[in-house]
């Protein structure tokens, strides 16, 4: 009965979404206040129905109701409760229900926080949100129904993919979807603004918190996915330019450009075309990510669907949304006001260059991700695009971007001169030269020294810009410090987070050490000055898997640094083996060990790693996300209005 309630709620949600997508739009066209107000009620009701459906699916998973096909394929009575709950979205059908449920939440928040919006703009935006819901609810009901029944009912289920039986599954996908789906707000309000032919500072200031929210959630989701892959997959890396990783990174890059465009539009009434186009593109790239994961074009732990029909449906939605938005932009862009002029040496000029570089980096990642897929689809050949390509294309663009980030916040709006920047540039050059020399002397790497120098330059420039805002060293600085809006603190934390992230990436890229050997008990290997000794292999068992735990003792200069415990787990239900890495986490480095196949006679494969500064990557990324959440709290908004 619970499954049927969820099914009925989904059908009703689709019907409500159809009403939401038509009547408010017609009401805005006719100027009918009652029809426009219907959009608020429809969005709220749709969210309630989707919540009922999602809760129903969660209940059948927790109860291990194997009469529901999805539960049978993705759960088991011996699975811990946490993984029964996270298993709800650890599959294609459930993850799509989570996707559309989050879409419903965003839509329902518009009436709550958008009471001051022009009625026509809000009605049109909610209608566009309704159209998106119609597309995805239709997709779920007609191709990916999570409530299908089985007859006869099996005694037990097939369990969840062991790689997904991790706390990371409970948090990584929801945060990622909050980011992906959050960009639908930018899309809906961009299309609505194009229909009205009006994009102004008020519109930008209202949209900015929604974009910040989506961008910050997406940052958290990507970061958690990186951490999860680092400790769960046992390969010792934090990012491998996997296509599924890349498609989550693409909307983040465009979303970053969108945030900067909104800043210019909100303060200087400029870059309206940029803002609209980036708003459409950010959500379109989110749909690209959805298509890649669910189309069957990739096979990985991220890929839930292999049914081509599903891929065709998602591709059709992608083409309709992206094509419709871009056609609307082409037809209406000329009606948008251009704003006051500015020179290249100005804050607007710096932000424009920032956007150009972010779009360029997005294109390089997009090309490296999809070109091999196109080659495979249209020819008999296969090519591999990996880290060397991205090192040669993406990294140089980022270096130039960081150089601009260091001076952009220091220039004035509309017009400035290089002369005013000379003192800062000279001090920065001296500082970078000192840091470069010191880092090269310690690390013997020109690339590493240059990268650390660039990161320090960004941190120094960020602090210099913040110091100017509060007039550091002058009377009244403390008063100005307290008076700074949340957006200024967000700027400080985000740019410092990027600097810290660059330092961590440099440490992993330049100074990380690794080796792999077959070791018998009490045999050792040396990696990066550390001696890794296989001390014991101990069998054990948990409720839903058996395990063999390896104790790897680590010494340096004759002193015991710690013992790493790596495990090989065997999941009987899925007949799969996974490797759990043993990691010692420290601020300046991680020690990492993974134990693979072997036996007592021949020994076991032991992979050992020394990872300098790796935790700085995730610290910096979480600082960037925190900056986004803080910036939402900007003062000056009325209570109840975002």
Which DSSP string do the residues of 588-614 spell out, in sequence order?
A: SEEEEEEEEEEETTTEEEEEEEEEETH
Q: Could you tell me if residue 134 is inside a domain?
A: yes
Q: Could you tell me if residue 382 is inside a domain?
A: no
CA distance 375 to 297: 12
CA distance 258 to 254: 6
Q: Could you tell me if residue 121 is inside a domain?
A: yes
Q: Could you tell me if residue 595 is inside a domain?
A: yes
Predicted local distance difference test score (pLDDT) of residue 634? 79
Burial of 359 per CB tally in 10 Å (0-12, 13-18, 19+): middle
CA distance 118 to 62: 44
CA distance 185 to 102: 12
Q: Could you tell me if residue 387 is inside a domain?
A: no
What does the block give as tokens for 79?
A: 């699975």
Give rounded-to-5 percent helix, strand, coil for the chain: 65, 10, 20
Structural domain including 303 reads 2-329+352-363
Q: Could you tell me if residue 60 is inside a domain?
A: yes
CA distance 238 to 512: 12
Q: Could you tell me if residue 459 is inside a domain?
A: no
Q: Please list the residues that pair with 301 across neighbouring strands.
A: none
pLDDT tens by residue, 70-99: 999 988 888 888 889 988 998 889 999 999
Q: Please list the residues that pair with 606 across neighbouring strands.
A: 517, 595
204 C-beta neighbours (distance < 10 Å), count: 23
Number of structural domains in the chain? 2
Q: Which residues of 382-410 are buried (b: 16+ CB within 10 A; e: fewer)?
A: eeebeeebbeebbeebbeebbbebbbbbb
Pairing verdict, β 546-556 and 530-541? antiparallel
Predicted local distance difference test score (pLDDT) of residue 305? 47
Phi/psi at 28 (5° precision): -65, -35
Q: What is the reported pTM?
A: 0.93
Burial of 487 per CB tally in 10 Å (0-12, 13-18, 19+): buried
Assess contact for 221 and 176: CB atoms under 8 A: yes
Assess contact for 174 and 95: CB atoms under 8 A: no
Which parts of the chain register pLDDT below 70? 294-308, 337-339, 377, 635-642
CA distance 366 to 360: 10
Q: Could you tell me if residue 185 is inside a domain?
A: yes
Q: Which residues of 293-323 are buried (b: 16+ CB within 10 A; e: fewer)?
A: bbbbbbeeebbbbeeeebbebbbebbeebbe
- Of 72, 287, 163, 279, whose CA–CA distance to 577 is shortest? 163
DSSP 86-120: HGGGSSHHHHHHHHHHHHHHHHHHHHHH-TTS-HH
> What is each CA distance from 201 to 198, 204, 265, 267, 330, in whole angstroms?
10, 5, 6, 7, 21
- Of 183, 134, 199, whose CA–CA distance to 329 is shortest? 199
């Amino acid at each position: 009965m619970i499954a049927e309630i969820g099914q009925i709620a989904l059908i009703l949600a689709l019907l409500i979404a159809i009403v939401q997508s038509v009547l408010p739009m017609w009401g805005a066209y006719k100027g009918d206040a009652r029809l426009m107000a219907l959009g608020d009620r429809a969005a709220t009701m749709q969210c309630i129905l989707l919540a009922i459906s999602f809760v129903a699916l969660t209940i059948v998973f927790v109860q291990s109701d194997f009469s529901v096909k999805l539960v049978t394929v993705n759960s088991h009575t011996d699975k811990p409760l946490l993984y029964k709950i996270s298993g709800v979205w650890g599959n294609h059908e459930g993850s799509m229900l989570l996707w559309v449920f989050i879409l419903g939440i965003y839509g329902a928040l518009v009436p709550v926080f958008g009471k001051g919006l022009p009625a026509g703009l809000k009605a049109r935006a909610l209608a566009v949100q309704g159209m998106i819901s119609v597309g995805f609810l239709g997709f779920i009901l007609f191709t990916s129904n999570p409530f299908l029944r089985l007859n006869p009912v099996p005694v037990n289920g097939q369990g969840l993919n062991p790689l997904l039986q991790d706390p990371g599954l409970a948090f990584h996908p929801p945060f990622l979807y909050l980011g992906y789906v959050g960009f639908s707000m930018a899309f809906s309000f961009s299309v609505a603004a194009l229909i009205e032919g009006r994009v102004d500072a008020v519109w930008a200031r209202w949209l900015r918190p929604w974009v910040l929210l989506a961008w910050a959630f997406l940052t958290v989701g990507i970061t958690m996915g990186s951490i999860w892959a680092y400790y769960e997959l046992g390969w010792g890396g934090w990012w491998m330019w996997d296509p599924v990783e890349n498609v989550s990174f693409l909307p983040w890059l465009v979303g970053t450009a969108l945030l900067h465009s909104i800043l210019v539009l909100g303060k200087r009434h400029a870059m309206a075309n940029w803002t609209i186009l980036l708003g459409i593109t950010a959500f379109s790239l989110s749909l690209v990510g959805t298509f890649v994961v669910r189309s069957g074009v990739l096979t990985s732990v991220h890929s839930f669907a292999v049914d081509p029909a599903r891929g065709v449906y998602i591709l059709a939605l992608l083409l309709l949304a992206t094509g419709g938005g871009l056609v609307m932009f082409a037809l209406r862009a000329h009606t948008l006001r251009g704003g006051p002029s500015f020179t290249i040496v100005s804050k607007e000029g710096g932000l424009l260059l920032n956007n150009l570089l972010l779009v360029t980096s997005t294109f390089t990642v997009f090309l490296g991700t999809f070109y091999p897929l196109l080659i495979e689809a249209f020819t008999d050949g296969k090519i591999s695009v990996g880290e060397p390509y991205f090192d040669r294309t993406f990294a140089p663009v980022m270096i130039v971007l960081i150089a601009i980030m260091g001076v952009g916040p220091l220039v004035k709006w509309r017009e400035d001169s290089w002369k005013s920047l000379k003192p800062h540039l000279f001090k920065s050059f001296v500082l970078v030269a000192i840091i470069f020399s010191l880092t090269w002397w310690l690390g013997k790497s020109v690339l590493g020294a240059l990268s650390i120098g660039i990161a320090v330059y960004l941190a120094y420039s960020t602090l210099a810009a913040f110091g100017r805002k509060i007039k550091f060293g002058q009377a009244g600085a403390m008063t100005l410090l307290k008076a700074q809006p949340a957006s200024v603190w967000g700027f400080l934390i985000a740019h410092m987070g990027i600097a810290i992230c660059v330092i961590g990436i440099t440490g992993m890229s330049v100074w990380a050490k690794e080796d792999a050997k077959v070791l018998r008990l009490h045999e050792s290997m040396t990696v990066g000055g550390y001696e890794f000794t296989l001390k014991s292999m101990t069998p054990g068992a948990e409720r839903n898997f058996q395990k063999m735990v390896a104790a790897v003792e680590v010494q340096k200069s004759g002193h015991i640094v710690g013992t790493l415990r790596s495990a090989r787990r065997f999941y009987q239900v899925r007949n799969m083996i996974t490797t759990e890495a043993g990691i010692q986490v420290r601020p300046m480095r991680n020690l990492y060990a993974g134990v693979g196949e072997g036996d007592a006679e021949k020994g076991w494969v032991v992979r050992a790693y020394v990872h300098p500064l790796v935790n700085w990557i995730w610290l910096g990324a979480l600082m960037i996300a925190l900056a986004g959440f803080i910036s939402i709290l900007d003062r000056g908004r009325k209570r109840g209005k975002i």
